């Protein structure tokens, strides 16, 4: 597409950051009418991966497109700030096999990838004792490992059969959507270890507890974790090598959005939270803090829960309104500690930890690709994130570093820098990694998920059929929404 965007537009990229003073939302529409702002073919709400990919597709087709972004930056749930010279992904970071869209985009934009560090011994901290195991083992050395693997195989075969486009039409949809994953887990395991490892995997993939999520949504998500020719897989979701945690981006995942936005130039307007979308006489009036834009079609590319903060006129149909009232974001705090070197590697440790002691129950080596610094990454997820979110920052940091010290060693307790991001506190995200569905929602409201509201189309990773919840899914949902909007122009 880059060839089709003129050089003048690329030069205008600087205008993205140099946006003018904010207009009050009230009266902005009238002012814009007076100024006769040109009608856009499509206004896209949100400059995350989904919104930017939608805009990229539309611009490539020669369509007039404007992207309105609430934050003062692009990338949404991907954000890669520097701390003491080290780039840290504080949002989404990994990609893996079958995530073809994100890999192709990185390639096109010249963003390189590298393998997640995955050598040496991992730590299994359980019932007060610390056991080392080879990080390449498929499962930690728990007495209930065999039972856990049986459950995983059961999920693999159940998930593979679920439709990616209409999971609510499955022959067992009512049965699966009538129970939480907790109910299923309790009915299919007896060992404490199997239940613990199941909880840990649920925390890691959905950032919620098994009691929170519908079995049907969980199975749909498994089904979605593959590409057009490869069926989805639970093991792919949880694995590092050959799985969803296989690789990372040199310079951070936000590079993808930054580079797409640069090519889109002045089409991207920052600091423009959209407050209202009004549809009248064949046009949409999209009112933001930077003014009102008229458009023939609109793509709302924000998490479903966040889309509820926009005022729609006419109001949303009841199905969509009810759906987004039932689509919570997961709960995760990502913490990272920076050291001079990845010293644990010299001690034969991989940096990977599974633990039953919160707040951090899952850890990875997150050092930069060239090993120029050591970074340990800890995830606080599900109920642990809710509890840790109530702590003071100092108490939370102390609890996290106590986890690091206990599992990796004393030196891990004294980092050069400590960085944490609680996504539930972010006004324009409200939680992560993505939205998940409690029981009864897919069967009750599923068809409303991708159905446009008049001239408004929905995008964002939660709408993807493939790699739902992931960066790859976000890009696919943006492509789908752009196609739908184009067809209506
Ligand atoms: C901590 C964390 C770890 C993750 N790990 C991974 C991983 O390793 N691999 C992976 O593939 N995925 C991961 N994810 C998920 C991945 O980041 C997301 O799936 C993806 O980035 C979502 O993109 P999106 O465009 O759908 O939504 P978002 O990134 O949420 O984009 C929505 C955009 O809309 C803007 N917005 C919201 N409301 C408005 C409004 N009213 N007006 C204007 N703009 C608005 C927001 O500011 C945002 O920029 C992770 C996410 C997090 C937070």
* Distance of CA 390 from the midpoint of ligand 1 (Å): 23
**Atom 2 in ligand 1: residue holding the nearest Cα:** 91
Checking if the pLDDT of 9 tops 80, the result is: no
Domain identity same for 229 and 264 = no
Q: Quote the distance between the C-alpha of residue 309 and its chain's center.
A: 19
Confidence label for 34 from pLDDT (cuts 50, 70 and 90): low
Checking if the pLDDT of 4 tops 50, the result is: no
pLDDT of residue 28: 54
**Atom 17 in ligand 1: residue holding the nearest Cα:** 92
**Atom 48 in ligand 1: residue holding the nearest Cα:** 76
* pLDDT tens for each residue of 467-483: 999 999 999 999 999 99
Q: Identify the weakest region by mean pLDDT among 70-74, 157-161, 438-442.
A: 157-161
**Can you tell me the mean pLDDT for 123-150?**
97
> Can you give the CATH number for the domain in which 479 is found?
3.50.50.60
Buried b (16+ CB within 10 A) or exposed e, 428-464: bbbbbbbbbbbbebbbbbbebbbebbebbbbbbbbbb
* Distance of CA 208 from the midpoint of ligand 1 (Å): 17
Domain identity same for 161 and 184 = yes
Domain identity same for 408 and 339 = yes
Domain identity same for 212 and 285 = no
Mean pLDDT of the chain: 94
Q: Which residue range is the domain that position 393 belongs to?
A: 82-96+112-118+330-425
Domain identity same for 217 and 264 = no
Does residue 137 form part of some domain? no
Q: Which residues line ligand 1 (CB under 6 A)?
A: 45-51, 68-71, 76-78, 91-94, 273-274, 301-303, 306, 310, 332, 334, 423, 428-429, 432-434, 460-461, 469-472, 474
408, 425, 442 - which closes a domain: 425
Checking if the pLDDT of 349 tops 80, the result is: yes
Checking if the pLDDT of 60 tops 60, the result is: yes
* Distance of CA 458 from the midpoint of ligand 1 (Å): 14
Tokens of 106: 């990185």
Sheet holding 113-115, edge to edge: 94-95, 247-249, 113-115
**Can you tell me the mean pLDDT for 337-349?**
98
- Structurally, the chain folds into a number of domains equal to 3
pLDDT of residue 37: 83
**Atom 19 in ligand 1: residue holding the nearest Cα:** 470
Contact of 407 with 353, CB cutoff 8 Å: yes
Domain identity same for 209 and 148 = yes
What is the position in ligand 1's atom list of the atom closest to the CA of 46?
34
Does residue 414 form part of some domain? yes
Query: Helix, strand, or coil here: 180?
Result: strand
pLDDT of residue 33: 54
Checking if the pLDDT of 3 tops 50, the result is: no
Does residue 40 form part of some domain? yes
**Atom 4 in ligand 1: residue holding the nearest Cα:** 92
Q: Quote the distance between the C-alpha of residue 90 and its chain's center.
A: 11
User: Please, which residues bridge with residue 68 across strands?
Assistant: 45, 269
209, 238, 267 - which closes a domain: 238
The whole-model pTM stands at 0.94
Does residue 199 form part of some domain? yes
> Can you give the CATH number for the domain in which 88 is found?
3.90.660.10
**Atom 13 in ligand 1: residue holding the nearest Cα:** 92
C-alpha angle 271-275-281 in degrees, rounded to nearest 5: 120
* pLDDT tens for each residue of 223-271: 999 999 999 999 999 999 999 999 999 999 999 999 999 999 999 999 9
* Distance of CA 207 from the midpoint of ligand 1 (Å): 14
C-alpha angle 418-421-427 in degrees, rounded to nearest 5: 150
* Distance of CA 462 from the midpoint of ligand 1 (Å): 10
Q: Identify the weakest region by mean pLDDT among 12-16, 33-37, 415-419.
A: 12-16
Ligand 1 mutation pick, 52, 91, 460, max ligand atoms within 8 A of CB = 91
* Distance of CA 310 from the midpoint of ligand 1 (Å): 17
* Distance of CA 305 from the midpoint of ligand 1 (Å): 12
Contact of 138 with 145, CB cutoff 8 Å: no
Q: With pLDDT > 90 as the criterion, what percentage of the chain qualifies?
A: 92
Query: Helix, strand, or coil here: 231?
Result: coil
Residue 286 φ then ψ, to 5°: -105, 110
* pLDDT tens for each residue of 278-320: 999 999 999 999 999 999 999 999 999 999 999 999 999 999 9
Does residue 168 form part of some domain? yes
**Can you tell me the mean pLDDT for 190-205?**
98
* Distance of CA 380 from the midpoint of ligand 1 (Å): 18
* Distance of CA 46 from the midpoint of ligand 1 (Å): 9
Of the candidates 488, 88, 16, 19, the residue with the CA atom closest to the CA atom of residue 295: 488
**Atom 14 in ligand 1: residue holding the nearest Cα:** 92
Checking if the pLDDT of 272 tops 60, the result is: yes
Does residue 8 form part of some domain? yes
Confidence label for 402 from pLDDT (cuts 50, 70 and 90): very high
Domain identity same for 310 and 382 = no
Does residue 206 form part of some domain? yes
**Can you tell me the mean pLDDT for 381-402?**
98
pLDDT of residue 266: 98
> Can you give the CATH number for the domain in which 223 is found?
1.10.405.10
**Atom 53 in ligand 1: residue holding the nearest Cα:** 91
Contact of 453 with 312, CB cutoff 8 Å: yes
Confidence label for 160 from pLDDT (cuts 50, 70 and 90): confident
Does residue 433 form part of some domain? no
Domain identity same for 339 and 415 = yes
- Residue 486 burial (10 A CB sphere; 0-12, 13-18, 19+): middle
238, 271, 300 - which closes a domain: 238
Tokens of 387: 């509890």
* Distance of CA 78 from the midpoint of ligand 1 (Å): 6
* Distance of CA 430 from the midpoint of ligand 1 (Å): 10
Ligand 1 mutation pick, 46, 111, 225, 457, max ligand atoms within 8 A of CB = 46
């Amino acid at each position: 597409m880059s060839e089709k965007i003129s050089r003048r537009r690329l030069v205008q990229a600087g205008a993205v950051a140099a946006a003018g003073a904010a207009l009050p939302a009230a009266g902005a529409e009238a002012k814009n009418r007076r100024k006769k702002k040109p009608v856009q073919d499509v206004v896209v709400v949100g400059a995350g991966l989904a919104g930017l990919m939608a805009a990229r597709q539309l611009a490539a087709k020669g369509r007039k497109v404007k992207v309105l972004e609430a934050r003062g930056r692009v990338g949404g749930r991907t954000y890669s700030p520097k701390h003491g010279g080290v780039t840290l992904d504080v949002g989404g970071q990994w990609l893996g096999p079958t995530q073809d869209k994100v890999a192709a985009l990185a390639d096109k934009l010249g963003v390189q990838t590298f393998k997640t560090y995955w050598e040496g011994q991992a730590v299994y901290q359980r019932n007060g004792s610390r056991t080392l195991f080879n990080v390449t083992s498929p499962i930690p050395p728990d007495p209930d490992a065999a039972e856990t693997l049986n459950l995983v195989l059961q999920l693999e075969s159940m998930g593979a059969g679920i439709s990616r486009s209409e999971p609510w039409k499955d022959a067992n949809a009512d049965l699966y959507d009538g129970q939480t994953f907790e109910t299923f887990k309790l009915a299919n395991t007896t060992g404490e270890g199997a239940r613990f490892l199941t909880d840990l995997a649920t925390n890691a993939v959905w950032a919620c507890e098994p009691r929170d999520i519908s079995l049907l949504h969980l199975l749909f998500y498994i089904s979605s974790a593959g590409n057009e020719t490869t069926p989805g897989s639970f093991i792919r979701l949880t694995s590092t090598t050959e799985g969803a945690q296989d690789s990372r981006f040199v310079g951070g995942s936000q590079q993808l959005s930054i580079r797409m936005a640069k090519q889109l130039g002045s089409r991207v307007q920052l600091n423009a939270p959209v407050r209202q979308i009004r549809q009248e006489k064949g046009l949409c009036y999209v009112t933001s803090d930077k003014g009102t834009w008229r458009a023939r079609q609109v793509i709302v590319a924000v998490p479903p829960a966040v889309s509820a903060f926009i005022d729609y006129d006419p109001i949303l149909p009841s199905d969509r309104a009810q759906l987004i009232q039932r689509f919570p974001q997961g709960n995760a705090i990502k913490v990272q500690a920076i050291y001079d070197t990845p010293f644990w590697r010299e001690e034969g440790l991989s940096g990977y930890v599974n633990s039953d002691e919160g707040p951090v129950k899952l850890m990875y080596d997150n050092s930069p690709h060239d090993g120029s610094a050591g970074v340990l990454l800890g995830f606080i997820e599900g109920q642990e994130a809710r509890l840790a979110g109530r702590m003071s920052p100092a108490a939370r940091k102390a609890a996290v570093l106590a986890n690091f010290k206990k599992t990796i060693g004393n030196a891990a307790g004294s980092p050069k820098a400590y960085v944490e991001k609680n996504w539930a506190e972010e006004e324009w995200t409200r939680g992560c990694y993505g939205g998940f569905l409690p029981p009864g929602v897919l069967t009750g409201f599923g068809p409303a998920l991708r159905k446009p509201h008049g001239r408004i189309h929905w995008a964002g990773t939660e709408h993807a059929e493939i790699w739902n919840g992931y960066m790859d899914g976000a890009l696919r949902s943006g492509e789908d929404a752009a196609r739908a909007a184009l067809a209506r122009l």
